[in-house]
């Protein structure tokens, strides 16, 4: 845990506060840095009367001038001893709201709720659906959607540290509200439900399986049967306030909820010593991202500057590494690309066609894309090949079966661009099918016929025995209306 500089009196006040609040408030220790910059609240508007507000939070909003209706909405939760204005001024979210066109809501807690103004991610009375702070944020969403005409299908939530832990809870509590989220140096959803359990979450792994982590999300809204949000996870490898194991546990939790593997679909290096691991859903779209930043301590990753992918301002726990807000915005599709997560400029390949088929292969061809170093081929959403040329042959297929293919160009950073329109190819030959039934039903289904009191397989004319309900066979269709007995295995 990083201890900030300051006078003995400052450190004494810190110790007294921590002794009053115990482990959960340790998230804020480093935020008491003497002389930390104070962000401007330019453009922020406080909104009151947004609901019953059981969590006793304040609501601040920011929206670009002339914002059209139907645009996304982002909820951004500050860290301990921070404020809405501080987060607005440092995180970089405001510049992307201007660039891409969306509204921002900054919930703000206070020292009355918590001695160090931490969101109470560890308190089940504040972090569960329909209660406390969680419900207050839900009411802010409704108010902002009405105020700005935001698209209710494109509402996202992000947060730092304790705000990140509460963001994870909100994603679990309200999968019907949030399309995606980002947890920056935060905790898994419902990791702790009491203040006493918070320190264990921060400082050590919980030794839970992915399913056990996923169950915490599923139990947050037991009646939910729809899709779960897409989640980006940001974690520094040198974080001593929220240990890096939390990033892994968040990965386990949200991949399990999405029903996908905990093995990365792809891994690539970004700026600032950042390694991005992506976990794709069956369609090939990144559903979970884990950003691990080498050597970064506890805080929000920013990258001040005027470049396209730069943002924010450094300060107490705003660390100069990489612009997390930019990459999160791309992952959510706020830039209008659909959120495939790459941030690449490579367009979709055109001219994808099927150039040949056999009973076990499909051959494809497409037009080249400028700047591509290779191409990624997917069958039914699953990656089946990577090639440097503009042709590919898929092998080991089943005869007489249809398959769908897409292709994406890959740049020098290993980032796949927009996928092409799909094409469908059907292999030649006949797809063998097997049917197990009694002889009476086989005849009734048209797979066999009768003669002299026996049943005979169509095509092969194999004797199946007496034509009755008590003799059962498996018939294998090896060609159109040609069946053989396959009782020994099909």
The CA distances from residue 464 to 189, 435, 456, in Å, are: 59, 14, 5
Q: Is there a domain that residue 346 lies in? A: no
User: Residue 440 has what pLDDT?
Assistant: 93
Domain's final residue, options 389, 405, 426: 426
| Parallel/antiparallel/unpaired status of strands 274-280 and 448-451 | unpaired
Domain holding 252, by residue range, is 8-332
Q: Is the same domain home to 412 and 439?
A: no
Domain's final residue, options 426, 451, 471: 426
| Parallel/antiparallel/unpaired status of strands 391-394 and 382-387 | unpaired
Q: Is there a domain that residue 339 lies in? A: no
Q: Is the same domain home to 326 and 398?
A: no
Cβ–Cβ under 8 Å, residues 368 and 310 = no
Inter-residue long-range contacts of 284-287, CB under 8 Å, 24+ positions, other chains counted: 284/378, 284/381, 284/382, 284/383, 284/406, 284/419, 285/339, 285/340, 285/341, 286/230, 286/331, 286/339, 286/340, 286/341, 287/230, 287/231, 287/254, 287/255, 287/258, 287/260
How far is 184 from 232, CA to CA, in rounded Å? 8
Element (H, E) at 124: helix 124-127
Q: Is the same domain home to 437 and 417?
A: no
Q: Is the same domain home to 313 and 446?
A: no
Q: Is the same domain home to 359 and 218?
A: no
Q: Is the same domain home to 52 and 192?
A: yes
Please identify which of the residues 117, 136, 161, 324 carries the catalytic annotation. Answer: 161
Split into its structural domains, the chain has a count of: 3
Phi and psi for 378 in degrees, rounded to 5? Answer: -125, 140
Tens place of pLDDT per residue across the chain (490 aa)? 333 333 333 344 433 333 334 344 444 433 333 233 333 456 899 999 999 999 999 999 999 999 999 999 999 999 999 999 999 999 999 999 999 999 999 999 999 999 999 999 999 999 999 999 999 999 999 999 999 999 999 999 999 999 999 999 999 999 999 999 999 999 999 999 988 899 999 999 999 999 999 999 999 999 999 999 999 999 999 999 999 999 999 999 999 999 999 999 988 888 899 999 999 998 888 999 999 999 999 999 999 999 888 999 999 999 999 999 999 999 999 988 766 554 455 788 999 999 999 989 999 999 999 988 899 998 877 789 899 999 999 999 988 888 999 998 988 766 777 778 889 999 988 777 899 999 999 999 999 999 999 999 999 999 999 999 899 999 988 887 899 999 988 7
Q: Is the same domain home to 179 and 125?
A: yes
Q: Is there a domain that residue 348 lies in? A: no
Q: Is there a domain that residue 338 lies in? A: no
As given in the structure block, the two tokens for residue 156 are 């996202």
Q: Is the same domain home to 321 and 379?
A: no
What lies within 8 Å, CB to CB, of 296 at 6+ separation is 236, 237, 238, 239, 272, 273, 319, 321
Give the SS3 label for residue 197.
Answer: helix
Cβ–Cβ under 8 Å, residues 24 and 43 = no
Q: Is there a domain that residue 400 lies in? A: yes
Active-site annotation holds for 161: yes
Q: Is the same domain home to 161 and 129?
A: yes
How far is 357 from 315, CA to CA, in rounded Å? 60
User: Residue 338 has what pLDDT?
Assistant: 67
Q: Is there a domain that residue 288 lies in? A: yes
Q: Is the same domain home to 295 and 440?
A: no
- Look up the CATH number of the domain holding residue 18: 3.40.50.1820
Phi and psi for 283 in degrees, rounded to 5? Answer: -85, -5
Q: Is there a domain that residue 466 lies in? A: yes
- Look up the CATH number of the domain holding residue 397: 2.60.40.10
User: Residue 40 has what pLDDT?
Assistant: 42
Residue with tokens 């898994």: 188
Inter-residue long-range contacts of 353-356, CB under 8 Å, 24+ positions, other chains counted: 353/423, 354/405, 354/423, 354/424, 354/425, 355/391
Q: pTM of the full predicted structure?
A: 0.68
Q: Is the same domain home to 248 and 392?
A: no
Q: Is there a domain that residue 2 lies in? A: no
Q: Is the same domain home to 236 and 296?
A: yes
How far is 303 from 310, CA to CA, in rounded Å? 5
As given in the structure block, the two tokens for residue 452 are 């002299």
CA-closest candidate to residue 234, choices 320, 169, 324, 339: 324
């Amino acid at each position: 845990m990083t201890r900030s500089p300051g006078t003995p009196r400052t450190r004494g006040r810190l110790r007294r506060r921590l002794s009053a609040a115990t482990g959960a408030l340790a998230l804020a220790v480093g935020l008491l840095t003497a002389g930390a910059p104070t962000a401007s609240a330019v453009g922020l508007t406080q909104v009151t009367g947004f609901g019953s507000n059981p969590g006793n939070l304040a609501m601040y909003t920011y929206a670009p001038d002339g914002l059209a209706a139907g645009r996304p909405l982002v909820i951004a939760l500050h860290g301990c001893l921070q404020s809405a204005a501080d987060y607005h001024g440092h995180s970089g979210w405001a510049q992307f709201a201007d660039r891409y066109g969306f509204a921002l809501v900054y919930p703000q807690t206070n020292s009355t709720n918590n001695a160090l103004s931490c969101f109470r991610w560890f308190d089940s009375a504040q972090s569960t659906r329909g209660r406390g702070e969680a419900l207050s944020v839900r009411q802010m969403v409704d108010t902002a959607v009405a105020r700005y005409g935001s698209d209710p299908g494109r509402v996202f939530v992000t947060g730092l540290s304790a705000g990140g832990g509460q963001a994870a809870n909100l994603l679990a509590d309200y999968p019907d509200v949030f399309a995606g989220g980002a947890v920056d140096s935060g905790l898994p959803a419902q990791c702790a439900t009491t203040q006493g359990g918070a320190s264990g979450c921060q400082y050590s792994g919980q030794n839970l399986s992915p399913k056990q982590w996923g169950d915490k999300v599923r139990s947050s809204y037991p009646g939910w049967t729809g899709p779960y949000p897409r989640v980006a996870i940001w974690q520094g490898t040198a974080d001593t306030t929220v240990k890096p194991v939390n990033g892994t546990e968040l990965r386990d939790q949200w991949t399990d909820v999405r029903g996908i593997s905990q093995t990365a679909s792809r891994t690539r290096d970004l700026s600032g010593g950042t390694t991005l691991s992506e976990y794709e859903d069956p369609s090939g779209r990144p559903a979970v991202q884990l950003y691990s930043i080498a050597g970064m301590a506890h805080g929000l990753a920013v990258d001040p500057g005027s470049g396209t992918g730069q943002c924010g301002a450094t300060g107490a726990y705003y660390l100069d590494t990489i612009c997390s807000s930019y990459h999160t915005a791309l992952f959510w599709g706020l830039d209008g690309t659909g959120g495939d997560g790459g941030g690449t400029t490579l367009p979709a390949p055109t001219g994808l066609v099927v150039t040949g088929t056999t009973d076990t292969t499909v051959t494809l061809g497409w037009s080249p894309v400028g700047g591509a170093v290779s191409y990624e081929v997917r069958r039914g959403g699953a990656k089946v090949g990577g090639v440097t040329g503009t042709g590919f042959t898929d092998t080991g297929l089943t005869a007489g079966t249809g398959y769908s293919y897409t292709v994406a160009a890959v740049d020098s950073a290993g980032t796949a661009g927009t996928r092409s329109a799909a094409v469908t190819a059907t292999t030649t030959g006949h797809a063998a099918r097997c049917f197990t039934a009694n002889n009476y039903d086989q005849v009734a289904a048209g797979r066999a016929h009768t003669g002299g009191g026996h049943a005979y397989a169509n095509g092969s004319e194999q004797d199946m025995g007496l034509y009755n309900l008590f003799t059962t066979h498996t018939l294998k269709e090896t060609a159109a209306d040609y069946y053989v007995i396959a009782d020994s295995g099909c």
